[in-house]
Structure 1
Amino acid sequence: MIVVAGEALIDLVVTAEGQRAVPGGSPANVAVTLARLDQPVRLLARLATDDYGRQLVEHLSANRVDLEWAVRAQEPTSVAVATLNAGGQASYEFRLAGAADWQWTPQELPELAGSPAIALHTGSLALALAPGAEALEGLLARERRRDGLTVSIDLNLRPSIVTDRAGEQERVRRQIRLAHLVKASDEDLAWLYPDRSVADVMTEWRAAGVSCAVVTRGGEGAWLLAPDGSLHEEPAVRTTVVDTVGAGDSFTGGLLAALADLDALGDRPADRLAAVTPQQWGTVLRQAATVAALTCGRRGADPPRRSEVAARLTPAS
């Protein structure tokens, strides 16, 4: 199974027609995407016992996300207000003070050695907000040293919340060294490194020990720097955009699911990723881009199921 660690929150989606409360949070969205792509997935999250928390539990359980390691927390649920413009692009305002997601203690985190986990994925605010970020970073460091599974990070930066660019540069520099796979958006990198090219950053990550670096570029597609130093480019899949909520998370889920299908996740992670062929990297990127496009074609963070992705990837006869 793939273990996903991090926040599960409520998105209050605001449009011209009003607002609605829907389950969200980048790691939770990745977990749901993986489950809909028929990958066994367990979410390591702190879920509140309030009404929003119960809504999250119902949503995750209905999507076959394993909650065995989830912590039932007394703190309130985090809320993100997502305001959509006329083009469906989302901007976010967060209500996070004292919320459940950020209160991890080392004692709440499981021992993954001996478990069926083949990968540990995290990122977004879970790796940025104290005090829980320190505990999760410790888990990543332990798993990187153990070399028993693939460690994956999606930066998914939130400059409106964590505004200290220099501090974020140092955090990212420290945390990417713990990962075998790192994914970011071009918007993440434009804010984090305003004077550097994407290619320069990806090359630096590879030198720091990252086996595979992926950068999504919205409507321009995605780049992937493979373990052998080759750069793979995949165009965006054409779609009618309803909104972009959860698009990056579904791309990540599609990427991890494709790698799992290739048996490229698990122990000796660097060796497994190095064994992926150039043709297979193309397949991985196409699946991830297709999953993201299908998500953009519907309202909210509503990733597709495996059959929908397969139908889109299969050429018409």
Structure 2
Amino acid sequence: MIAVVGEALVDLVAEDTAGGYRAVPGGSPANVALTLARLQHPVRLLARLGNDGFGQRIRGHLHANGVDLTWAVSAVEATSLVVATLDDSGQATYQCYLDGTADWQWTTAELPNLSGTGLTALHSGSLALALAPGAAVVEDLFVRERDRGELTLSIDLNLRPSIVPDRVGEQRRVERQVRSAHIVKASEEDLDWLYPDRTVEQVMAEWRAVGVACAVVTRGAAGSCLLAPDGEMYRQSARRGEVVDTVGAGDAFTGGLLAALAGFGALGDQPGARLAAVTPNQWRQGLHQASTIASLTCGRRGADPPVLADVVAALSPGPG
């Protein structure tokens, strides 16, 4: 089982050009958990879920899709709200209503002891690792688990400059937090904003130098790249398909890659050794699967990753 810790909020996604919006459960960590569950991989979400109408909708949606909510906290605070507005190409921009809401109020007492729970990996990212006061609690959890050495630790930067605009502060935070991770994923957009004076390849090499075993960067229509533990760079072209919107596509990519690595036996104790044992063909397969899942998600409105049968069909070679 993979555990995911972080926000589970509501996205109001533009429904049409007339100004209508649809409420869709979202939040980057919750979307990763949803993707894993739809791929039929056991996943448990550590989230603080409000008791308001939006929170109840999130809980019902995740439960119905097979996400284990045993460790979810029933929070008294309101549910976080994000309004996603789409341009003509389906690219999303976000306006967020987050002050005092449930997702960012973690206390150490609310997080379980992960020792002996049968987990193989822990994933987090985005605002869960950026917004006080809860970010410090989640960061401390990753530090403890890195020291314990029994889980593969994964982080997706998924930066939000419109919410946390302090570039220097974000550089310091990211550089501190990636040291606790074995897998770090970012988008090219993340890195262009965070390090405007560096190339993607330079940043990935810097992460590897401080102990990140696997660095992954998604590049939109240009595909993705992955720096493996042995220093080999793998590149994957983007899968062509209809783009309805890009909401949740990066999260679906992350979930797809984690599911592939789990299938290879690459997650668990001795995480560095496990990731080092992944073969070149498996790295290529993992990137191909993740790219396919992201593309299928772009063909749906909102954060709506595909189920396993859809992925298998998309990955199967055509007739002839």
Would you call these one fold, judging by a TM-score over 0.5?
A: yes
Q: Distance in 2 between matches of 1:210 and 1:131?
A: 26
Aligned to 1:82: 84
2:49 paired with 1:47: yes
2:5 paired with 1:5: yes
Aligned to 1:170: 172
Q: Distance in 2 between matches of 1:88 and 1:226?
A: 32
Query: Per the alignment, in what secondary structure is the counterpart of residue 177 of structure 1?
Result: helix
Query: Per the alignment, in what secondary structure is the counterpart of residue 192 of structure 2?
Result: helix
Q: Which amino acid aligns with 1:10?
A: V
Aligned to 2:299: 297
Mapping 1:29-40, distance limit 5 Å: 29-40=31-42
1:278-309 deviations in whole A, cap 9, x for unaligned?
Answer: 11100000000000000001111110011111
1:8 Cα deviation after fit: 0.2
1:129 Cα deviation after fit: 0.3
Mapping 1:19-30, distance limit 5 Å: 19-30=21-32
Q: Distance in 2 between matches of 1:45 and 1:24?
A: 12
2:165 paired with 1:187: no
Structure 1 gaps, min length 5: none
Aligned to 1:272: 274
2:159 paired with 1:157: yes
The correspondence for 1:211, drawn from 204, 209, 213, is 213
Q: Distance in 2 between matches of 1:38 and 1:275?
A: 24
1:160-212 deviations in whole A, cap 9, x for unaligned?
Answer: 00010000000000000000000000000000000100000000000000000
User: Percent of counterpart pairs with the same letter?
Assistant: 66
Query: Per the alignment, in what secondary structure is the counterpart of residue 94 of structure 1?
Result: strand
Q: Distance in 2 between matches of 1:300 and 1:73?
A: 25
Q: Distance in 2 between matches of 1:277 and 1:260?
A: 14
Aligned to 2:138: 136
Q: Distance in 1 between matches of 2:259 and 2:308?
A: 10
Aligned to 1:110: 112
1:86 Cα deviation after fit: 1.6
1:20 Cα deviation after fit: 1.2
Q: Distance in 1 between matches of 2:70 and 2:289?
A: 29
Query: Per the alignment, in what secondary structure is the counterpart of residue 231 of structure 2?
Result: coil
Q: Distance in 2 between matches of 1:239 and 1:71?
A: 38
Q: Distance in 1 between matches of 2:39 and 2:48?
A: 24
1:16 Cα deviation after fit: 1.2
Q: Distance in 1 between matches of 2:222 and 2:25?
A: 28
Aligned residues: 317
1:316 Cα deviation after fit: 1.2
1:314 Cα deviation after fit: 0.8
Q: Distance in 2 between matches of 1:236 and 1:31?
A: 23
Runs of 4+ residues deviating >3 angstroms: none
2:69 paired with 1:58: no
Structure 2 gaps, min length 5: none
Q: Which amino acid aligns with 2:199?
A: S
State TM-score, norm by structure 1: 0.99
Q: Distance in 2 between matches of 1:86 and 1:186?
A: 21
Q: Distance in 2 between matches of 1:296 and 1:201?
A: 27
Q: Distance in 2 between matches of 1:245 and 1:123?
A: 16
Aligned to 1:119: 121
The correspondence for 1:233, drawn from 228, 232, 235, is 235
Q: Distance in 2 between matches of 1:225 and 1:87?
A: 30
Q: Distance in 2 between matches of 1:86 and 1:218?
A: 16
Aligned to 2:265: 263
Q: Distance in 1 between matches of 2:270 and 2:44?
A: 21
Query: Per the alignment, in what secondary structure is the counterpart of residue 281 of structure 2?
Result: helix
Aligned to 1:312: 314
